[in-house]
Amino acid sequence: MQKFIVEGGAALEGEVTISGAKNAVLPLQAATLLADTPMSIRNVPRLKDVQTLAAVIEGMGVAVRFDEHNNIHTDTRTIHTFTAPYELVRTMRASILVLGPMLARFGEAEVSLPGGCAIGDRPVNLHIAGLEAMGADIRVEEGYIRARAKRLKGARIVMEMVSVTGTENLLMAATLAEGRTVIENAAREPEVTDLARCLIAMGARIEGAGTDRLVVEGVESLKGVDYTVLPDRIETGTFLAAGAITGGRVRTLRAAPDTLDAVLQKFTEAGAAISSGEDWIELDMRGRTLRAVDIRTDPYPAFPTDMQAQFMAMNACSQGIGVVVETIFENRMMHVAELKRLGANIRLEGNTAIVAGMPYLKGAPVMATDLRASACLILAGLAAEGKTTVDRIYHTDRGYECIEHKLAGLGARIERVNA
Q: Which residues bind ligand EPZ (CB under 6 A)?
A: 22-23, 26, 94, 120, 122-127, 161, 163-166, 305-306, 328-329, 371-372, 399
Q: Least distance (Å) from ligand EPZ to the CB of residue 342?
A: 22
Strands 72-75 and 63-66: antiparallel
* Smallest distance, ligand EPZ to C-beta of residue 275, A: 27
117 is catalytic: yes
Which C-beta is closer to ligand EPZ: that of 28 or that of 407?
Answer: 28
Q: Give the shortest CB-356-to-ligand EPZ separation in angstroms.
A: 26
Of 117, 317, 376, 402, catalytic: 117
C-alpha span between 382 and 376 (Å, rounded): 10
Do residues 162 and 184 make contact, with C-beta atoms less than 8 angstroms apart? no
Q: Where are the alpha helices (DSSP H) in 232-383?
A: 233-246, 261-269, 308-316, 335-341, 371-383
C-alpha 272/C-alpha 372 separation (Å) is 22
Written as one letter, the residue type at 291 is R
Q: Are 5 and 417 in contact (CB under 8 A)?
A: yes
Residue 198 beta carbon to ligand EPZ: minimum distance, rounded to whole angstroms: 15
Nearer to ligand EPZ (CB atom), residue 94 or residue 103: 94
Would you say 165 or 389 has its CB closer to ligand EPZ? Answer: 165
Minimum CB separation from ligand EPZ for residue 140, in Å? 12
Supply the minimum distance, in Å, between the C-beta of residue 334 and ligand EPZ. Answer: 13
Q: Which helix (H) or strand (E) holds 112?
A: strand 108-112
Whose Cβ is closer to ligand EPZ: residue 127's or residue 406's? 127
Specify burial of residue 331 (Cβ count, 10 A radius: 0-12, 13-18, 19+).
middle
List, in order, residues 6 or more apart from 212 with CB less than 8 Å away. Answer: 162, 184, 185, 186, 187, 188
Beta carbon nearer to ligand EPZ, 91 or 319: 91
- Cα-Cα-Cα-Cα torsion 384, 389, 395, 398, nearest 10 degrees, comes to 80
Nearest alpha-carbon partner for 322 in 344, 304, 337: 344
d(CA 77, CA 241): 44
Residues 6+ apart with CB under 8 A from 183: 130, 157, 159, 167, 170, 171, 174, 213, 214, 216
Toward ligand EPZ, which CB reaches closer, 7 or 330?
330
> Which residues form the catalytic set?
117
